[in-house]
Structure 1
Amino acid sequence: MAICIYCSQNKTLTREHIMPAFVYTYQDSISNSKSIGWREKAQKVLQGEAVIKDVCDHCNNVVLGTLDAHAKSALEKAGAFTPNFNKSTVDFEYDFNQYARWLLKVAFNSSRASGKHLGVFDQYKDLILDKNKNYSSFIITGGLLKPYKLTKQQKIDHGQSLFADSSGYVNPFFSRVSWAQNLPNDISVKQIVIGALVFHVVSFSPNMSRVRKRELQKEYLKMCKGMAILNKGSSRTKLSQLPLTFVDSMGPHMLREEVKPHMDKLLTSC
């Protein structure tokens, strides 16, 4: 028995996935090996599904499980689960309350697992549990990664495993959670990638004025070109291609000094 991180009650704790199990299930179905990923706390690449054991059964399988089910449905309708995504736009359909809470849940889970932004996303626990409806301290944005053109040699070496089309373009299914860098002070941004779909949870510092939030929102949108805001009053948002490929989106984190040697070793062993 221990204290559940969400409801703060003393209960038996269960393992909560950082990314939902349905993401790993699809990723494993199109791969010859189990999912692998960089683990921030362990400071190494590990195989298997990333989980954290600090959530009670009710919060995990009832409350958060409902959010996972909605997210899975919305992502399936958008065509996210494909080995080579080739759409230039998507009319993304969602229930804002459920999808925003799901993204906040993933961001909060990732922060606890990685030790990053620990003081940022815990403020949204009550909102994630649907105990309040205050959406004023964050925005949600989305976009699409564009296909990456393989060189002739890359197509020979990796085209089949990356499901390249006849012209050598790839937009493979990967999932990851990271933090956006080089953004204005007073905002924290978690980037959640499901295949070619990219979502940002943009959290503003507490007690910020509406005027300052609008200024930072404009500055953020200028820096993150192409990201579209998912509005609270809407159930559909058009997501368009960003000026980024999956390689671009992974670069800032995979090429960090502490990560690169592990990735080099992994790639040379493939």
Structure 2
Amino acid sequence: MGICAYCEEDKGLTREHIIPDFIYKLEKGNGPLVGWNEKAKKIVGGEGKIKDVCADCNNVKLGTLDGYAKIMLQNSGVLTQNYLRKIINLEYDYDLFKRWILKVSFNSARSSNNNPKSFKKFIPYILGNEKSCDDVVIVAGLYKPEILSAEEILKYKGKFEIGPNGEFNPFHARLAWMPQVDTDFKVRVIVVGALLIQIVMFKSNLQAGYKRAKLRQWLKLNPLMVEVSPKRKALTVHQLDTTFIDTQEVQHLRMEALGAI
């Protein structure tokens, strides 16, 4: 028995994947599962799980979100070992997609004790008890493939899928906070394969027009990223001028400084 992280009732607790199982299964195609644990400040292996969710929240309310996300991402074509296309045609139910993204982020933040309080106010929306969540905006883009050298192609051939011209954009998953550049919002990142999702989380009680102005400023700093709009059911997500390797540089240096690698 224990207090459920979502409904906050004293119930028997079950294990919940931090990242859904269907994503872990694809990651396994690239070798052993590894990830960075912020709480422990070290690299850990295996499928990440957390045991603080009751069976009703886990299997009914949250499990439905994982099922929806799996179908949506499969239909977009992003669930592939080496994504080489320059666009994704993303068809979505805005609230289901947004609830799933917040759920995965909250799970990750709790597991590493990395600012989980930022998600507390979104719990009613994640569970479907509130119909809207105006303090969160989602934007998306695609990593472009890294082009491997002839030597790298020989090194990785047979271990990973590589495009005909050395294109390399392997499936991986990642969750992290971006450095905070504005006191009015925080940005959480979720990577699913080549799909980069930024969750722009505004402070409460900001005026709608002010938030739109802040979002425009953010998009200017992140060219080619596009907003996932609640007014639409489909969106074309474009390739960025950034590879997945580019985004790992800061974390790699940090891990070196901590003696983790």
TM (normalized to structure 2)? 0.95
Aligned match of 1:184 in 170, 173, 182? 182
Deviations 1:139-196, CA, capped at 9 Å, x for gaps: 0111111010112222222243231122111000011111122532221111111100
**Which of 165, 171, 174 is equivalent to 2:172?**
174
Distance 2:47 2:258 in 1: 21
3-state DSSP of counterpart to 1:110: helix
Kindly provide the amino acid, as one letter, of the partner of residue 148 in structure 1.
Answer: E
**1:78 positional shift:** 1.0
CA contact (8 A) 2:39 2:114 kept: no
Match of 1:12 in 2: 12
| Cα gap change, 1:252 to 1:159, in 2 (>3 Å) | farther
Name the structure 2 match of 1:92: 90
The answer (yes or no) to whether the contact 1:143–1:197 under 8 Å persists in 2 is yes
**For the residues of structure 2 that align with 1:34 and 1:62, how far apart are their CA atoms?**
30
Tell me the CA shift for residue 20 of structure 1. 0.5
Q: Partner of 2:45 in structure 1? A: 47
Please name the residue that 2:80 is paired with.
82
User: Could you say which residue in structure 2 is the equivalent of 1:147?
Assistant: 145
| CA shift for structure 1 position 260 | 6.6
TM-score after normalising by structure 1: 0.92
Structure 1 residues not aligned, in runs of 5+ = 264-270
Task: Measure how far apart 1:129 and its partner are.
Answer: 0.3
- Match of residue 131 from structure 1: 129
Query: For residues 105 and 222 of structure 2, what CA distance do their matches in structure 1 show?
Result: 19
Q: Give the letter for the 2:96 counterpart.
A: Q
Report the Cα distance in structure 1 between the residues aligned to 2:128 and 2:90, rounded to whole angstroms: 22
Any idea what SS the aligned residue of 1:41 has?
coil
Could you give the per-residue CA deviations for residues 70-104 of structure 1, whole angstroms, max 9, x where no partner exists?
00001101111211101101110111111100001
Task: For 1:75 and 1:155, locate their aligned partners in 2 and report how far apart those are by CA, in whole Å.
Answer: 28
Name 1:23's counterpart in structure 2.
23
Whether contact under 8 Å (1:38, 1:46) holds in the other structure is yes
1:244 counterpart residue number: 242
Query: Runs of at least 4 residues of structure 1 off by over 3 A?
Result: 257-261
More displaced stretch, 201-210 vs 109-118: 109-118
Distance 2:154 2:256 in 1: 30
Shift of 1:258: 5.7
- Once residues 254 and 190 of structure 1 are traced to their aligned partners in structure 2, the CA distance between those partners, rounded to angstroms, is 18
Verify the 8 A CA contact 1:254 1:260 in the aligned structure 2.
no
Distance 1:11 1:238 in 2: 43
Q: 1:222 aligns with which of 220, 223, 246?
A: 220
> What is the identity percentage for the equivalent residue pairs of Structure 1 and Structure 2?
36
Q: Secondary structure at the match of 1:104?
A: helix
Q: Check whether the contact 1:15–1:52 (CA below 8 A) recurs between aligned residues.
A: yes
Pick aligned residue for 1:212 from 188, 210, 213? 210
Unaligned runs of 5+ in 2: none
Q: Report the 3-state secondary structure (helix = DSSP H, G, I; strand = E; otherwise coil) of the residue aligned with 2:106.
A: helix
What is the Cα deviation at residue 206 of structure 1?
A: 1.5
Q: Which amino acid aligns with 1:204?
A: F
Please give the alpha-carbon distance, in whole angstroms, between the structure 2 residues aligned to 1:226 and 1:180.
18
Question: Compared with structure 1, are the counterparts of its residues 157 and 260 closer, same or farther at alpha carbon in structure 2 (3 Å cutoff)?
Answer: farther
Aligned to 1:268: none
- Structure 1 residues 24, 108: CA separation in 2 closer, same or farther (over 3 Å shift)? same
Deviates more, 1:208-217 or 1:97-106: 208-217
